[in-house]
Structure 1
Amino acid sequence: MIEQPATMPFQAANMDNAFRALFDSSPCGLILLDEAGRIVVVNQRLQDIFDYSAEELLGQPVEILLPHRDRAQHVGLRDGFIKAPAVRSMGLGRDLSGRRKDGMEIPVEIALTYVDLPQGRMTCALVIDITLRKRAELRLREANVQLEEFTHVASHDLRSPLRGIANLIEFIEEDYGESAPPEVRRNLARMAERIGAMEQLIDDLLTYARAGRRTVKTEAVDMHALVAEVVAMEPPQPGLRIETDVDVETFDGVRTPISTVLRNLVSNAIKHHDRDEKNISIRARAQGDMCVIDVRDDGPGIAVAAQARAFRLFQTVSSTGRSNSGLGLAVAKRLVEAHGGEIELISDDGQRGCHFRVYWPRFARSDRDA
């Protein structure tokens, strides 16, 4: 161990006051090593990460912070860095683990650099505990696996018996012919209608599951043309009026997901409208690095108390009584968030109309477009 009081590590490294303050107040764990790989200085954050006190670490080889299985190999890597120092990250492409005082291993990210001090060149390591991020990634992977399994069952194990029931209905209709009583024909028609609704629900579930997968291939997105296509796809009907206002330059993006989101919002507005006269507006504009898309209608609106569940699976917050699977808004939200955007709902109690606002990225970012 180094023969120094633990309260004086910075004097040992001859740091000036500014560097000392920056070092000790860093939100990341920081550690200085001498040319023999011994610990000279640690900040408070590093002590918190590994649950060691400064007194327990000073003078120890840095391998004390590593799992036993990695220590022997690390000595060679450490010596190689000291001989040819450079600013770099450790363990690119693989997971790194540290070891706390109690033996618990923790996932970490480590960056290395070096500093020249009066007593020689020292290695500086920056350590970040990424436990919370790893837990979140694990939960997300588990959720996606469960969703994939569920949709696989829905697609294969439910669709087949539904088709069998539909065939039986057709056989009954053929056997009866025109002699079937009106109530029988009515009940058979209702059964066929409900089978069709179940098959549509299965298709919607598959669409929702696939919506969480980010589309990597980009292309030029002309919002003027895209909005015009979405409007043209809606079948004309009396009393429907759709206004558009697009002021966004063409940008590189993923066209199909944007179109799907916009079609879902427009169709949703039409489906849940409660009047013969329906007015819908679509506006798109650039705002910073986002394309902001607003879809408004003058329908019945959604009560504030119900808005929290508007984007959930199987939730229908309209009172029109029309049959639907309640997946349109859930699919839209999943697509938007999978591609790095946000979607919000604005609808005030006592006032008609819904306002959906979508923020869609206009530029590639390294954290979502790698």
Structure 2
Amino acid sequence: MSNSRSLTRVLTMQFLLLVVVPLAAISILTLQLLTKELDRQITSKNLLLASSMADQVDAFLQDAEMALRQVDAVMEVSRVDERKQRYLEAWIRNYPYFESLQILNRDGRVRYIAPYRPHYTGISMAGQPFYKEALSTGVIYWSPVFISQQTGQPTLTVTLPTSAGMVVGFLNLGWLSDVCIQATRDAPVWGGIIDKEGTIIGHSDRRLVNERTNLGDAGFVRRSLRVQSGTYRDMVQGQDTLISLVAVNRTGWRVGVFQSAAQAFRPVEAMRNIFIAGSCLAVALALFLALWLLRKILNPLADLTNHTRQIADGCYDLVVPTGDFKEFDELAGHFQTMSEAVRSREEDLSGKRQELENSMVTLEKRNRELDQFAYVASHDLKAPLRAIANLSQWMEDDLGPVITGETRRHMELLRGRVKRMENLIEGILQYSRVGRIVTGAEPVDVEEMVQDIVQELEPLGGLSVRIEGSLPVITAERVRLRQVFANLIGNAVKYHNRPVGGNVVIAGKREDSCYAFTVADDGPGIAPVYHEKIFEMFQTLQPRDRVESTGVGLALVKKIVEGQGGQITVHSQEGEGATFCFTWPVQDSTEL
């Protein structure tokens, strides 16, 4: 009972394993998936905004390129210098984001300039990096960004190689900050555009542009220069920031959307907190419902257990209460039926117990009467027998000279029959005492006991009786064990058909929780058909006139051995000797 488990604990643990744990696992998994999806949506939204700004910047640069190509087309068609200059003046007014426009000849000298500056005409630009780069590649060239001395704004030169020379436009990039401001006006973010060196050339905060703030050492800038687009988390001016950057193909710039990570992921944190609170509430509600259901189930069981304990204490008149469930009602009904049956059995058992006690008293009285009868029978039967034996001896002594040999033989036969009758009476008395009279168990040296029995049987003539190995010291009833060995060894000697040269061997050993002993001889043997019969009362295999025997010895041995909890068997074939084996259980705990 101490190893039994509590049903309340088992049901609670099973509920936790089958409901709460899966619910918590599903909640955690769902929370992770939702968090990941919201993170993806937030980063995608930032990246989409950055892509939109990059498209506007690219469109701005494309318009600038198309405008330069339009100038080249007009300049090729027109042959009059004054018209070309007027066209350029008009064109520069229509494209205000160009600070100036220069038309260079094949030698790199300025032929036309708008707005018109006479002192610039004829100046050689062949040594300028933008001229060299465009001349070497033969394609449009976008120069690095620099600060214009005229406007103080970030500016770059756009150089378009033509058949007559080059068209060079000085593009004012102040509009880039306008793009950043307009794109991020309605969002809690700020936009920025950085060139390939990491310098900010457009930003929602124009101050950073004017200060030529450089982010080239920032890890996200270095990473972004290796890919077309991406979203990163990095420290910007000491603040954890979510950054989405998209490349502008024409110039290699990066258009970025910057947002405080704490602010960007605030909805995620809010959703996570709400979800966690909801999950905890769901788990708490599940626990509450589980405990309520457990109480509904376990309370009737507790009542049933209490009534069961009272019934076990003998209160059979209790009525077992019913519960709220059909199964508990059926259980209570069956238990009530069982209680009534137990009460009936208890009443019957009480009556049987009283009958048994009366029978025990009667049996004890009968045993005492039997003991008294055995004593009286032994005394009253043996006394006449001894008198007959003595009388026959006296008659033989008195009639000594006149008695014939036949009469003398009859007298000896009479005394033999008297001796057999005495032995038979003694054997019957011993058999009746086995199991009723118990002597105390004591340590017995079996080897010493066997040696004493063999000495009592001498003279043995030429028959050899020996102990094989050594016999143990055991705890047993000395008288009963001696009776067993005395009968078995005595029978082996008495019935041996070779008084000279015959052998009787006694052996014994410990086997688990018992001792095994054997008494073996090489005498006439016993046919298998008689192996059971020889253990019955008054059964002998040879006529009593040939060998003196009462037929009680082996029956007595079997009763003693089986009374001790052992077994006895015989292994023999006719003409091959006989081996009697018996076991004697270990009685003292110190022997185990």
Question: What's the TM-score, normalizing by structure 2?
Answer: 0.39
**More deviation in 167-176 or 257-266?**
167-176
Answer yes or no: is 1:165 the counterpart of 2:452.
Answer: no
- The corresponding residue for 1:308 is 532
Answer yes or no: is 1:284 the counterpart of 2:521.
Answer: no
Task: Indicate conservation of the 8 Å contact 2:503/2:522, yes or no.
Answer: yes
When Rg is computed on C-alpha atoms for both structures, the one with the higher figure is 2
- The corresponding residue for 1:57 is 337
CA distance in structure 1 between the partners assigned to 2:504 and 2:426 by the alignment: 27
- The corresponding residue for 1:187 is 410
TM-superposed deviation, 1:303: 1.6
Q: Which has the higher helix share?
A: 2
- The corresponding residue for 1:347 is 572
* Matched residues, number: 273
- Give the aligned residue type for 2:530: A
TM-superposed deviation, 1:333: 1.7
Task: Indicate conservation of the 8 Å contact 1:221/1:255, yes or no.
Answer: yes
Percent identity over the alignment is 30
Structure 1 runs not aligned, ≥5 long: 1-9, 16-30, 42-52, 68-96, 100-104, 109-130, 366-370
- The corresponding residue for 1:326 is 551
CA distance in structure 1 between the partners assigned to 2:320 and 2:514 by the alignment: 47
Structure 2 runs not aligned, ≥5 long: 1-296, 303-307, 322-332
**More deviation in 185-194 or 291-300?**
185-194
TM-superposed deviation, 1:283: 0.7
Cα gap change, 1:250 to 1:14, in 2 (>3 Å): same
Cα gap change, 1:206 to 1:189, in 2 (>3 Å): same
Task: Indicate conservation of the 8 Å contact 1:148/1:209, yes or no.
Answer: no
CA distance in structure 2 between the partners assigned to 1:292 and 1:250 by the alignment: 13
- The corresponding residue for 1:225 is 448
- The corresponding residue for 1:237 is 460
Task: Indicate conservation of the 8 Å contact 1:39/1:61, yes or no.
Answer: no
Q: Any idea what SS the aligned residue of 1:179 has? A: coil
Q: Note the aligned Cα RMSD (angstroms).
A: 4.2
Answer yes or no: is 1:362 the counterpart of 2:586.
Answer: yes
Answer yes or no: is 1:211 the counterpart of 2:424.
Answer: no
Cα gap change, 1:249 to 1:59, in 2 (>3 Å): closer
Q: Residue deviations 1:221-266, cap 9 Å, x none?
A: 2233233333333314333112322455433222332222112111
Cα gap change, 1:64 to 1:336, in 2 (>3 Å): closer
- The corresponding residue for 2:301 is 14
CA distance in structure 1 between the partners assigned to 2:565 and 2:363 by the alignment: 15
TM-superposed deviation, 1:175: 4.5
CA distance in structure 1 between the partners assigned to 2:522 and 2:369 by the alignment: 38
TM-superposed deviation, 1:147: 6.6
Q: Residue deviations 1:63-108, cap 9 Å, x none?
A: 44443xxxxxxxxxxxxxxxxxxxxxxxxxxxxx527xxxxx4459
Question: What's the TM-score, normalizing by structure 1?
Answer: 0.60
- The corresponding residue for 1:98 is 349
Q: Any idea what SS the aligned residue of 1:284 has? A: strand
CA distance in structure 2 between the partners assigned to 1:226 and 1:204 by the alignment: 21
**More deviation in 266-275 or 350-359?**
350-359
Task: Indicate conservation of the 8 Å contact 1:220/1:253, yes or no.
Answer: yes
Greater relative CO (CA pairs within 8 A, separation 6+): 1
CA distance in structure 1 between the partners assigned to 2:367 and 2:537 by the alignment: 15
Q: Residue deviations 1:282-314, cap 9 Å, x none?
A: 111001121110111111111222121211221
- Give the aligned residue type for 1:279: N
- Give the aligned residue type for 1:346: H
